[in-house]
Amino acid sequence: MLGALLLVLQSLWRGHVGRVAEYDDGVYFAAALEVARGILPYRSFDFLQPPLITVWLFPFAVVAADTSQRLGFELARWFTDLVTVLDVVLVGVLMRGRSTARMTLAMAVTAFSIGFLQASQTILLEPYLVFWCLLGLVALRRRSHGVLDGEILAGICFGLAGATKVWAVFPAAVVFLVLFSDHRRRALRFALATGVTFIVAIAPFVASAPVGAFRQVLLAQAQRGFSGESVAGRLGSLSGLAVLSHPSREEPAAVVGVVVIAVGAALLLWRRGALRGGGARASELARISRWSALVIGLALLAAPEFYYHYAGFFAPFLGLAVGTAEVPGWLAPRRSIAVVALVAVIALLGDVQAAISPPISGPVPVSSPLVHGASACAVSDQPSVLILSNSFTGGKRACPHVVDWLGTERVLVHGTSGVPADSRSRVFQAVVRQWVARAQVVVLSSIDGGLGPGVYALLGRRFLAQRRPDLGATLYRRLPVRRG
């Protein structure tokens, strides 16, 4: 309940309602709006993620079409908060059969993780990815002998998780290996169900443009350079320690000290048996949780890109790993739980206020759309601005399908976006000039380093620029055509 209250405060106290909070959320909802109009990704527009997020947001896209885009968007944001609360509940469900203290600890480590909170501030993929992974682990505990055994249901859930974000491959691989070490037939059933579900889920979207899907979802992502958080920032985001997230030049000793203490404590607990089950074979859930946390953590540390919300995928597996760790006999049970809980409070609750990120822009005014007329088109490098002003026009037949401006840039210039070098890409500049030429309104949230002089010259000749602080962007409105 306290975690749910934090999510509500995140939306209201920091003023997220009616404001631009992220870039990605606008992309996902804009893609759902296009799918609701029968326009599929990878062929009609670039989309760098698997397609199933558009399915999860589809009901709200229908609401947006029947009422207003702004209302549908805000409802989708609140729904994402609800999914996040369900993620914490699923952690508690997985901890059933263990002590209340363990269940509380696992849920607290998950719910109060800075990365987990930040991943829930708006429409992002991690809450949905975590939901299907955890639901798969719940299903794995189902002990029936019918057609839908636990491993089949788990495979279905992990297949849907993979069709939401490809990172699901990490815990899915761990589940397969743990099952394979115990019962090969169960592992093969799980792998078959996962693969079939994944293929069936993405087939309707990928069938018309398999090459485009490969280029956008896999190739463009693989070509990204190292960006986002530094290694120290990644450690801070994954651990919840603010001193690691933004270390100053004056405190390198503190950073090194925290890392040494953490590694030393982990080695001590390992030697004493707290992380190995005291010499006994750990439960299936414990092994899956620990190895998933390790694999996901290492993958995120080594990934070319890392942004604040990525740690939201790591948090529940860390919570389960902590909650299922065996307490060795050399520690009094109550004292050990108290110590671990205290460490969790210090590490994870120390910077909750900083975790509640402020929005990018001021409140987008509730007014008439930025464009008028059945054939009027608007394009933007920040789709949330268009959606909140009820001006997303991608579904119109005469309008360009600009869902993910930066994603298109990454596809065309092989992994980069918003850098000066992209202004020399003839292919990307030609695409942007086509967008601008067909638009009556262009909204640029910042001076994009990837735009070339030809695009700015076109905007200067045919559009009137107006700085809009309320939108956090510059509005370019097409000048009337001079006749005679």
Average pLDDT of the chain is 80
CA atoms within a 13 Å half-sphere pointing along the CA-CB vector of 159:
21
State the Cα–Cα distance between residues 399 and 396, nearest whole angstrom. Answer: 5
Summarised one tens digit per residue, pLDDT across range 365-387 is 666 678 777 678 999 989 999 99
**CA torsion angle for 402, 408, 385, 126 (degrees, to 10)?**
120
Residue-level pLDDT at 110: 87
The 10 Å CB-count burial string (b at 16+, else e) for 456-482 is: eebbeebbeeeebeebbbbbbbbeeee
Give CA–CA dist 3/56, Å, rounded: 22
Say which range, 45-54, 163-172, 325-334, has the weakest mean pLDDT: 325-334
Residue span of the structural domain in which 299 resides: 2-355
Tens of pLDDT, residue by residue over 296-323, are: 999 988 887 888 889 899 999 999 998 8
Q: What are phi and psi of 462, to 5 degrees?
A: -115, -5
CA 434, CA 459: separation in Å to the nearest integer? 12
Q: What percent of the chain has pLDDT over 90?
A: 40
Please indicate, yes or no, if residue 447 is contained in any of the structural domains.
Answer: yes
User: What is the band of 279 on the pLDDT scale with cuts at 50, 70, 90?
Assistant: very low
- On whether both 275 and 330 belong to a single domain, the answer is yes
Tell me the sheet residues that pair with 413: none
Q: Report pLDDT digits (tens) over 122-172.
A: 899 999 999 999 999 999 987 655 556 889 999 999 999 999 999 999 999
Amino acid at 414: H
Burial of 358 (0-12, 13-18, 19+ CB in 10 A): exposed
Q: Is residue 370 part of a domain?
A: no
Q: What is the pLDDT of residue 88?
A: 92
**Residue 341 maps to a domain:** yes
Do 142 and 249 reside in the same domain of the chain? Answer: yes
Q: Residue 167 domain-assigned? A: yes
Given pLDDT bands bounded at 50, 70 and 90, which one contains residue 336?
low
Confidence band, pLDDT 50/70/90 cuts, at residue 463 = very high
Q: Is 44 a residue whose pLDDT tops 70? A: yes
Position 369 in a domain: no
431 shares its domain with 327: no
How much of the chain is helix, strand and coil, in % rounded to 5? 60, 5, 35
Return the pLDDT at 73: 95
Burial (CB < 10 A; 0-12, 13-18, 19+), residue 483, is exposed
What is the total count of domains within the chain? 2
The least confident of 10-24, 234-248, 336-350, 398-412 is: 336-350
Task: Note whether residue 484 is domain-resident.
Answer: no
pTM, entire model = 0.87
Start-to-end Cα distance in the chain: 68
Identify whether 474 is part of a domain.
Answer: yes
pLDDT classification of 47: cutoffs 50, 70, 90: very high
In DSSP terms, 227 is beta-bridged to 305
pLDDT of amino acid 436 = 92
**Which of 323, 340, 355 lies at the terminal end of a domain, its last residue?**
355
Q: Are residues 350 and 386 in the same domain?
A: no
Average pLDDT of the residues in 186-193: 94
Q: How many CB atoms lie within 10 A of CB 366?
A: 11
Domain end marker among 355, 387, 410 = 355
User: What's the confidence (pLDDT) of residue 255?
Assistant: 47
Q: Are residues 134 and 42 in the same domain?
A: yes
Quick check: helix, strand or coil at residue 443?
strand
pLDDT winner (highest mean) among 47-61, 204-218, 382-396: 47-61
387 backbone dihedrals φ, ψ, rounded to 5°: -65, -45
Residue 107, pLDDT above cutoff 70: yes
CA nearest neighbour of 46 among 25, 64, 62, 30: 30
> How do strand 305-306 and strand 227-228 relate by DSSP bridges?
parallel
The rounded distance, in Å, linking the Cα atoms of 302 and 307 is 13
pLDDT for the residue numbered 369 = 77
Kindly tell me if the per-residue pLDDT of 254 is higher than 50. no
Q: What is the mean pLDDT of residues 350-372?
A: 63
Q: What percent of the chain has pLDDT over 70?
A: 74
In one-letter notation, the amino acid at residue 176 is F
248 with 389, same domain: the answer is: no
Would you place residue 356 in the very low, low, confident or very high pLDDT band (cuts 50, 70, 90)?
A: low
Say yes or no: 136 and 77 in one domain. Answer: yes
Give 439-450 pLDDT, tens digit per residue.
999 999 875 657
Find out whether 342 and 146 touch, Cβ atoms under 8 Å: no
Residues 225 and 328 in one domain: yes
Whether residue 452 lies inside any domain: the answer is yes
Q: Are residues 97 and 200 in the same domain?
A: yes
Report strand pairing: 463-468 vs 473-478: antiparallel
Burial (CB count within 10 angstroms: exposed 0-12, middle 13-18, buried 19+), residue 368: exposed
